[in-house]
Homo-oligomer: A and B are copies of this chain.
């Protein structure tokens, strides 16, 4: 490396004739890049074993996602990397929160191991809130010792989003210890709507960033108070248009872009971080400023000191754009090796890096779960509490419904503990799916990822739900659509019941197809029924949720009965 830098030995690769983006001065500089051992060894012409003339193209550092969850893509890490490298993403800071809920530290370690052999910087953050609440039954918990293990032994780059902000603000000693465990590393936050004194306390406790702003005022307050803000543009939560005015007015300091949760079809149709950049530019941000938010800023925040720039010494993650109009790189070099061009991976560039076998077969249900087990006894009052689901919102409402009123859309819902084969089942009612027939089920069910089922209110519901449960056990996890005792369709997610082992495009097709089946055969009206279903067990988002322990009144933060009169 040094010899190449000095000009004493030939470089591995010379990228000739590019306009190199300099994030530190927001300039474009006409200069050749000499690359050796995966890094930029020097600027300016040098002998090289291979010379690539890029003919005046724009060269930028690889894009970095400031915050994301791999599991949302439903892809294992090798396939995820194949999906995003062609779009120019070469690094992410990932919170493997769902894997941690299913497998704990060893799951995160397996993921980090699998990522290590890939041409990608897969920064793993140490999940801090597993389980999300005492009302949930995950496969594993992450206490202070486990979090320290994630940092010291697994090599986590920081503490992942501290979602339990009420505990942090209250000064809870476990969270104090978790934040302290970060040491010099970063502590990511999760502070939807937090403002005023509560935000002050959250910051005083040591949280440094947030990606949950949805309103401009909220973002502005966080920036002023010194928080790093990650503007999110995910599949469901799309906040960039609402927040970008802050960048237009006050620049890019301490601002980065992130995807948080992107589904495989979003990856395929819109892209990844490059889509965030494209949208920012569409909203009036200068290309140079958008690039800063997608390269050097997230690198700086996450202590990726070797990324985010094309200066000598930096890792040679280089995007080559023939034009900046589409923000689709014509070529992508990762650590100096060509890995993608014109939207496609270079064959063989990303080796297979399979999940270990023990991450399969994680759906542990009793041998028999029958319709009776899934049949709820309505209370004597005939009036029940119902989880009200609204299209496009992760919040629910606590409805009270007279079961005698047939005009109200009410379905059955069940959560089956599936990690320890306890046979524990929570039963309740949900409204808003528009389900007319059959049942749907999923092992993706935040945050504990137990089996979650929705079936019709009539007596066929529990029978179809039982079939769904049996099928999910059989295939080791996934999502299914059942009608009249038959499995109409399914997406297999055998890795922890969360992720596929199939190629990205197949997974995207299967998921789209499954939603279509639910719509056409069961009458489901929600645009993203499985996504919404997967959040009905998350006992920290208001107002009413269901876990295997029963209904949770999130507002009061306590378990509650199903009787609407109680």
Contact = CB atoms under 8 A, between A and B. Distances in A.
B184 A303 contact: yes
A251 to B, nearest CB: 7
A253 B313 contact: no
A198 B5 CA distance: 7
A23 to B, nearest CB: 8
A39 B2 CA distance: 45
Chain A, interface residues (CB within 8 Å), range = 35 or more
A6 B224 CA distance: 18
Contacts of A284: none
A226 B5 contact: no
Interface in A34-93: 39, 41-44
Contacts of A204: 1-2, 5, 39, 41-42, 312-313
Contacts of A5: 197, 200-201, 203-204
A455 B513 CA distance: 94
A43 B5 CA distance: 49
A10 to B, nearest CB: 13
A249 to B, nearest CB: 8
Contact of A44 (B1, B23, B196, B246): B196
A26 B312 contact: no
Given A27-B224, A171-B2, A196-B44, A313 B203 contact: yes
A309 B24 CA distance: 21
A311 B169 contact: no
Interface in A16-35: 22-27, 29
Contacts of A369: none
A433 interface: no
A196 B34 CA distance: 12
A42 B201 CA distance: 7
Given A2-B171, A225-B311, A226-B309, A253 B25 contact: yes
A43 B225 CA distance: 8
A125 to B, nearest CB: 16
A223 interface: yes
Nearest to A172: B2
A6 B44 contact: no
A158 to B, nearest CB: 12
A556 interface: no
Interface in A171-219: 171, 184, 196-201, 203-206, 208
Nearest to A306: B206
Query: Interface centre among A24, A206, A314, by most B CB within 10 Å?
Result: A24
Which of A2, A170, A208 has most B Cβ within 10 Å?
A2
A25 B227 CA distance: 11
Contact of A24 (B198, B254, B305): B254
A485 interface: no
Nearest to A226: B311
Contacts of A303: 184
A25 B250 contact: yes
B251 A25 contact: yes
Interface string A485-498: 00000000000000
Interface of A: 1-3, 5-7, 22-27, 29, 39, 41-44, 169-171, 184, 196-201, 203-206, 208, 220, 223-227, 246, 250-251, 253-254, 300, 303, 305, 309-314
6 contacts: A2-B204, A2-B205, A3-B171, A25-B250, A203-B311, A226-B313
Given A1-B204, A42-B204, A200-B312, 18 more contacts: A2-B171, A2-B201, A2-B204, A5-B197, A5-B201, A6-B197, A22-B223, A24-B254, A25-B246, A25-B250, A44-B196, A184-B184, A199-B312, A203-B312, A225-B311, A226-B309, A226-B313, A227-B311
